[in-house]
Amino acid sequence: MHGRMMFQPLLISDLLEHAAQYHADTPIYSKNTNGQMYETHWKNIADNAKRGAKAFEALKLGHGDCVATLAWNNHRHLEAWYAISGSGLICHTINPRLFPEQLIFIINDAKDKAILFDKTFLPLINAIKAHIPLVKSFICLDAPDAEIVKALPEVLFYDDLIAAQSAEYTWPEFDENTASSLCYTSGTTGNPKGALYSHRSTVLHSLVASLPDSMNLSAKDIILPVVPMFHVHAWGTPYSAALVGCTVVLPGPGLDGDSLVKLIDDYKVTIALGVPTIWQSLLVAAKQSGTKLESLTRNVIGGSACPPSMLATFRDVYQCETIHAWGMTEASPLGTVNQPKAKHLLLPIEQQHKLRLSQGRPPFGVKLRLVDEENGTNEVAYDGETHGNVQLKGHWIIERYFGKDQSSLTSDGWFDTGDIASLDQDGYLHISDRAKDLIKSGGEWISSVELENIAMGHPEVAMAAAIAATHPKWDERPVLIAVKTPESTLTEEALIQYYNDKIAKWQIPDRVIFVDAIPLSGTGKMLKRKLREDFGDVLLNSAEAI
Ligand code: ADP
């Protein structure tokens, strides 16, 4: 055959090289661990990433070694990321909110050879240091200071390491299937499991995540990834941002509502991404400050179901389009994104609004199927109503966990997500629950997400989690654990009443328990396992149980 196209491996370093060459002066704003803002641009990020790559070589880190990061979203972290993956090392982003035992487990499991960390995590490093013998270099991502040296005498400073190198460096070229980074699931059951991404899977994911029907990113955007870089790579945004060459605002450690509102307004952020709990506190702060968040044209909400009331507030009060997305660590994370089709724009406005509530449809590169619970390979009807287990296939979906010999796929090659959903003919997915969070009352399913969404629609409810409580007659019955807004006088009876006419009577929670705070997981999700431990027995011995 005569004639062919060039072949170039899909490598992460190319994303950065593209940004450095064609978007050199596009700014990157970063909040340092000390709270101060720092301004740089893509060219500097790329030059420092090259210096970093040379510094890692000098530390005798070699192709395929894992290098961990324990850091907030900041510019040094971004540079180091590209330095690690770009040079053929594996970037293991660690969630600092894991328990110390879990941190020790994953660092040893990954055989990390070096750890880059922000000053915030110095006590954590010192607490686990004796248990992670394979880690030879501890590199601090903050400006050198005596206090750090005193606490950790063997510390190296990233700034010193890169200052000792020139930016004369050519990124190595290697097979695009080479591992680039490693991310562990938060391990709500058992030990965390690692998802090992490749250069190819990451670049393809970045391309598709940037499309108009995904996050709709362009060089005109100013993006604020509130979702941490240790939470599935901030949903891939540092890669997509380089690919489109947009401005990035990195929020550092300040993830409270007030700090985020200020960043959005000060830097004219056009798009921001985060889990619902983050947006909840941002909305409170925005209301208090009176800002209209004028620059923010859209936000991406995922990680947990976006409550309808939150989506409506962004739309009606802030003229901000919420893009609801669903994904998971094992899917890099993008599985589906909610963007309408042309035909939907002709629908009455209420129907359009309703459509935007679902988790959306798969982009090119992801295939979805729903199978029934009994027979893991029988597909259910795609009628938007029938529920089934969500399974995935695609270019950036896991095949097996890190360090495992065995495939994690079904016998016919699909990855089971553990989520339960319905799917319609257009591919819109409606997640009803995680399989383990579903409430099974007398053999019938009740979606905890639906109960939470209704509760969140009450103006005096700040946060709500519905859990299955053990019931002697019905096996399980729903109980709602809720946090009231500060001045609320809401009672249990009134909130139960609020469910009337919104769902079938038998689905209404038996009890509402008000608490001061709902425990959150390392990635900002409600820890329902903990709530089940604390409140799973409340219906035993109570009058309702008889
Ligand atoms: P974990 O929470 O276990 O650390 P992930 O961050 O990978 O790991 O979470 C993936 C899970 O989060 C999905 O399987 C799903 O249950 C839930 N999830 C993610 N996005 C959404 C969404 N938009 N709506 C409902 N659930 C979601």
8 A C-beta contact, residue 141 and residue 116: yes
State the distance from the centre of ligand 1 to the C-alpha of 14, rounded, in angstroms. Answer: 30
What is the average per-residue pLDDT within 323-345?
98
164 pLDDT band, cuts 50/70/90, is: very high
Q: What is the mean pLDDT of the chain?
A: 95
Distances (CA, A) of 325 to 137, 203, 338: 38, 19, 6
- For residue 543, pLDDT beyond 70: no
What is the average per-residue pLDDT within 104-113?
97
* H/E segment holding residue 69: strand 66-70
217 in a domain, yes or no?
Answer: no
> Is 460 noted as a catalytic residue in this protein?
no
351 in a domain, yes or no?
Answer: no
User: What SS3 state is found at 225?
Assistant: strand
1 in a domain, yes or no?
Answer: no
What is the average per-residue pLDDT within 317-324?
98
Q: Which atom of ligand 1 is nearest to the CA of 305?
A: 24
> Is 374 noted as a catalytic residue in this protein?
no
DSSP structural state of residue 119: G
User: In this predicted structure, what is the pLDDT of residue 525?
Assistant: 85
Give the separation between CA 100 and CA 102, rounded to whole angstroms: 5
8 A C-beta contact, residue 336 and residue 359: yes
User: In this predicted structure, what is the pLDDT of residue 522?
Assistant: 80
How is residue 386 written in tokens?
């029938």
Give the separation between CA 395 and CA 236, rounded to whole angstroms: 14
Around ligand 1, the residues with Cβ closer than 6 Å are 185-186, 188, 302-305, 324-329, 333, 359, 417-419, 431, 434, 523, 525
449 in a domain, yes or no?
Answer: yes
Q: Which atom of ligand 1 is nearest to the CA of 302?
A: 23
Q: Which atom of ligand 1 is nearest to the CA of 418?
A: 14
- For residue 544, pLDDT beyond 70: no
Q: Which atom of ligand 1 is nearest to the CA of 185?
A: 4
Give the separation between CA 197 and CA 338, rounded to whole angstroms: 24
8 A C-beta contact, residue 415 and residue 392: yes
204 pLDDT band, cuts 50/70/90, is: very high
What is the average per-residue pLDDT within 67-96?
98
φ and ψ at residue 328, rounded to 5 degrees: -160, 160
Residue from 188, 379, 386, 445 carrying the catalytic annotation: 445
What distance separates the 2 farthest-apart alpha carbons in the chain? Answer: 81
CA dihedral of 448, 452, 453, 459, whole degrees rounded to 10 = 170
Which residue type does 16 have?
Answer: L
Ligand 1, residues 235, 326, 391: which to mutate, most atoms within 8 A of Cβ? 326
Whether the bond into 459 is cis, omega within 30 of 0: no
* Residue matched to tokens 């079938």: 504
> Is 445 noted as a catalytic residue in this protein?
yes
Q: Where are the beta strands (DSSP E) in 379-537?
A: 388-394, 415-423, 429-434, 439-441, 444-446, 461-471, 475-484, 511-514
153 pLDDT band, cuts 50/70/90, is: very high
User: In this predicted structure, what is the pLDDT of residue 524?
Assistant: 84
Ligand 1, residues 417, 419, 436: which to mutate, most atoms within 8 A of Cβ? 419
- For residue 542, pLDDT beyond 70: no
What is the average per-residue pLDDT within 392-397?
98
* Residue nearest atom 12 of ligand 1, based on CA coordinates: 303
80 in a domain, yes or no?
Answer: no
- For residue 545, pLDDT beyond 50: no
User: What SS3 state is found at 306?
Assistant: coil
In the chain, % of residues over pLDDT 70: 98
User: In this predicted structure, what is the pLDDT of residue 188?
Assistant: 58
User: What SS3 state is found at 140?
Assistant: strand
* Residue nearest atom 11 of ligand 1, based on CA coordinates: 328
Give the separation between CA 53 and CA 88, rounded to whole angstroms: 9
- Residue 471: CATH number of its domain: 3.30.300.30
Number of domains in the chain: 1
User: In this predicted structure, what is the pLDDT of residue 433?
Assistant: 87
8 A C-beta contact, residue 132 and residue 105: no
Query: Which residues have CB under 8 Å from 60's CB, separation 6+?
Result: none
Which of 39-43, 301-305, 357-361, 525-529 has the weakest average pLDDT?
A: 525-529
Give the separation between CA 440 and CA 478, rounded to whole angstroms: 9
Q: What is the per-residue pLDDT across 409-437, written as a single tens digit (0 to 9) for each?
A: 999 999 999 999 999 999 999 999 888 88
470 pairs with which residues across the strands? 476
515 in a domain, yes or no?
Answer: yes
φ and ψ at residue 19, rounded to 5 degrees: -65, -40
5 in a domain, yes or no?
Answer: no
Distances (CA, A) of 436 to 51, 189, 374, 389, 447: 46, 10, 15, 12, 11
φ and ψ at residue 242, rounded to 5 degrees: -70, -40
φ and ψ at residue 128, rounded to 5 degrees: -105, -10
468 in a domain, yes or no?
Answer: yes
Residue from 39, 440, 485, 506 carrying the catalytic annotation: 440
> Is 268 noted as a catalytic residue in this protein?
no
* Residue nearest atom 16 of ligand 1, based on CA coordinates: 434
How is residue 49 written in tokens?
């990433």
Show the domain range for 443.
Answer: 438-545
- For residue 498, pLDDT beyond 60: yes
- For residue 546, pLDDT beyond 60: no
